Chain A
């Protein structure tokens, strides 16, 4: 007699895993389009009232076919040439999301497509245009924001350097923080409380843990 129970158990686990994977693959890309990166949210993103720095809308980036030869998935981080601000770019499957941040009050999330030759033109919902080109393992380009042009160079960044974001509601205030962890460990970030920008507390780049107004949040790596 061969018992069938254990096989059914394994099969059940396998089916459940495949089901979850398809759920991830479908809703995952949808949520990626509505919210930049995973967010710490007490309620589903759709039900939250939009903030001034709201994540880009679903129409911002239709999923392109990943089959074309886009630049390899990677993260880049660096500073502007005048050393006033930081820029991070995250590339996935021919799409890019970038974050420009001066650590005080100037910031912009920008997104767009990356051409096969590595050039990109990313636009921000709240203004700002990033024009850059990936070559020799770094992205060089410019960010136009608030009437100023910043030239920047972003080197390839490996974890724990990179681009992080956390959104949550803390004591009734909509919190939206963005951080760039530069190669070498320096951090530049801005925390919005109900749309008002300010300096951000440091995150633990290893865990993404950050304390905002006494509440522990998790900042997560951002992907397009």
Chain B
């Protein structure tokens, strides 16, 4: 069956009312961290002078190609995230290791996205010169903020049942738009090259 032993956050109605104050702090802390991460990334990208260049991987024609493929890999794992999350919540039939699959595909998706973001912020910076670039910059920063919030929320227990799916959905939506405005744009503009 699909009950995740770790999914305490799905929340059984707690017998005694949750104390109000720690509850607020539980949501406030991840929210503040999310805002801090997103703003810090954006500020770094805006203030620091884009280097215009960074190291490349052998076998790829350009850093943009490397990034596009890494981002596509990350997006692929994000799709696994959606399916495995539906399994954990029992909306899809799934194996017992659906939860482990969710955790590890999420980790891989995140870790694969990190080098892409580092290159973006180091070499290109936060830019707004076209709508595509503006949305990519803004949502790229938002993605790492909301992802931090999701990770921190996982540590809290007895959250409202809707909260994790909503935050997780935001993470996925942000990554999707970030991918559409970068990797897909790259492949459509330059062709599916390595």
Contact = CB atoms under 8 A, between A and B. Distances in A.
Interface in B145-182: 148, 150-152, 154-155, 157
Contacts of A32: 51, 53
B14 to A, nearest CB: 15
A17 B117 contact: yes
B31 to A, nearest CB: 15
B64 A218 contact: yes
B114 interface: yes
Given A168-B61, A216-B190, A221 B52 contact: yes
A7 B107 CA distance: 11
Contacts of A31: 53, 55
A6 B151 CA distance: 5
B191 interface: yes
Interface string A200-215: 0000001101000000
Interface string A127-162: 000000000000000000000000000000001100
A20 B114 CA distance: 9
Mostly helix, strand, loop or mixed at chain A's interface? mixed
Nearest to B127: A159
Contacts of A51: none
B51 A28 contact: yes
A65 interface: no
A106 interface: no
A199 interface: no
A28 B48 CA distance: 15
A38 interface: yes
A28 B55 CA distance: 6
A44 B61 CA distance: 10
A108 interface: no
Nearest to B117: A17
B110 interface: yes
Q: Which of B55, B63, B150 has the most chain A CB atoms closer than 10 A to its own CB?
A: B55
Contact of A40 (B61, B103, B106, B117): B61
Interface residues of A, number: 41
A3 B64 contact: no
A73 interface: yes
B155 A24 contact: no
A221 B151 CA distance: 37
Interface in A1-60: 1-3, 5-7, 9-10, 12-13, 16-17, 20-21, 23-24, 27-28, 31-32, 37-38, 40-44
A160 B107 CA distance: 37
B141 to A, nearest CB: 13
A192 interface: no
B111 A6 contact: no
B68 to A, nearest CB: 12
Given A6-B155, A40-B61, A218-B64, A206 B55 contact: no
B62 A218 contact: yes
Interface of A: 1-3, 5-7, 9-10, 12-13, 16-17, 20-21, 23-24, 27-28, 31-32, 37-38, 40-44, 73, 92, 159-160, 168, 206-207, 209, 216, 218, 220-223
Given A16-B111, A220-B52, 12 more contacts: A1-B157, A7-B151, A21-B122, A24-B118, A28-B51, A31-B53, A37-B53, A38-B52, A73-B49, A160-B129, A218-B190, A221-B52
10 contacts: A3-B6, A5-B103, A27-B55, A28-B54, A28-B55, A32-B53, A38-B56, A73-B49, A209-B190, A221-B52
6 tightest A-B CB contacts, nearest first: A38-B53, A6-B151, A20-B118, A6-B154, A221-B52, A24-B54
